[in-house]
Amino acid sequence: MMEILSAILLGLVQGLTEFLPVSSSGHLELAKVILGHTGPEEGLILTIVLHTATALSTLIVFRKDIGEILTGLLVKKSNSWLFTLHIIISMIPAAFIGLFFEEKIATLFDGNLFLVGGALLATGFLLHLADRPVDTKKVLNSQNAFWIGIAQAIAILPGVSRSGATIASAVLLGISRENAARFSFLMVIPLIFGSLSKSILDAESTAITIDLLPLTLGFTTALLTGIFACRWMIALVKNSQLKYFAYYCFVVGTLALLYGFVG
pLDDT the model gives residue 147 = 94
Distance CA 69, CA 79 (A): 9
236 contacts 26 by C-beta, under 8 angstroms? no
Distance CA 103, CA 208 (A): 19
pLDDT the model gives residue 50 = 83
pLDDT the model gives residue 258 = 85
pLDDT the model gives residue 222 = 92
Look up the pTM and report it. 0.77
pLDDT the model gives residue 201 = 67
pLDDT the model gives residue 20 = 82
Go through 159-198 and write b for each residue having 16 or more CB atoms within 10 A of its CB, e for each that does not: bbbbbbbbbbbbbbbebbbebbbbbbbbbbbebbeebbee
pLDDT tens by residue, the chain, 263 residues = 657 788 888 888 888 888 888 777 777 777 777 776 654 444 567 777 888 888 889 889 888 888 877 776 676 666 778 888 888 899 889 888 877 776 676 666 566 677 778 888 988 988 888 777 666 678 888 999 999 999 988 888 877 888 888 988 888 888 888 888 888 888 888 777 776 676 666 655 555 556 778 888 889 999 999 999 888 888 877 776 778 888 988 998 898 888 777 75
Tell me the CB-side half-sphere exposure of residue 146, using CA atoms within 13 A: 2
Cα angle for residues 130, 249, 163 (degrees, 5° grid): 55
177 contacts 238 by C-beta, under 8 angstroms? yes
- SS3 (DSSP) at 175: strand
158 contacts 26 by C-beta, under 8 angstroms? yes
Extents of the domains making up the chain: 2-262
At 199-215, the pLDDT tens digits run 666 655 555 556 778 88
